A = this chain, B = another copy of it.
Amino acid sequence: MKTKIDTKKQIMDIAENLLLDRGYNGFSYKDIAQALSIKNASIHYYFPQKTDLGVAIIDRAKKRFEKWAAGIADKDIGYPEKINEFCLIFKKYVEQEQQVCLGGALETDFKTLPAEMQKETRIFISTILQWLEKILSAGKDKNEFKFSGSAREQALFIMSGLQGAIQIVRVTAPLSFDAVTARIRSNICNV
């Protein structure tokens, strides 16, 4: 039972929010400090370099996804429904804060990221794509999906559509995000 306020976690929460909102080059330690009513230097105590903070955020997001995936694996639902749950993650981003997903934010900033963050980004994206691929492949074997081409390609397609939609909706809202997910489903699930 933790009663102590976890400053480190708070820093990460706020920084992750800022990252999704403004991109890696669009926020500073000052922004975080002000939000927490602490001083700039205090953040350096937890994360000596901004790179450390960035890496920690990506790594945590990866673990969060893996935990989510484990929860989904336990559920007794069909593969199409699992893909649907995946789409719901993105829907949350759109509806709550018009935020971009972490992958998309990191990808557009990719060439400006320090090497360690680039590495973590690749791992993060791979983790998600591999999960999608696994679900698609298994679902196809059980005739719950029907699509041409490899599961890998299909995974890329799904991820692309969701990620792009989340971003576009930001500037053209309100536009039905559900319309995108419906098309993704129809593309894999015309069985």
Contacts and interface: CB of A to CB of B under 8 A. Distances in A.
A100 interface: yes
Contacts of A25: 22-23, 25-26
A165 B160 contact: yes
Interface residues of A, number: 50
A157 interface: yes
Interface stretch (A37-45, A48-56, A62-70, A178-186): A178-186
A121 B162 CA distance: 20
Report which residue of A111, A112, A118, A150 has the largest number of chain B beta carbons within 10 angstroms of its beta carbon: A111
B167 A107 contact: yes
Contacts of A162: 160, 164
A71 interface: no
A107 B100 contact: yes
A105 B164 CA distance: 11
Contacts of A23: 23, 25, 108-109, 112
Given A150-B179, A160-B167, 8 more contacts: A23-B112, A121-B171, A148-B186, A153-B176, A153-B183, A160-B161, A160-B162, A160-B163
26 contacts: A25-B25, A104-B104, A104-B108, A104-B167, A107-B167, A107-B168, A110-B171, A125-B168, A148-B186, A149-B183, A156-B165, A156-B176, A159-B168, A160-B161, A160-B163, A160-B164, A160-B167, A160-B168, A160-B180, A161-B161, A163-B167, A163-B168, A164-B165, A164-B167, A183-B187, A187-B187
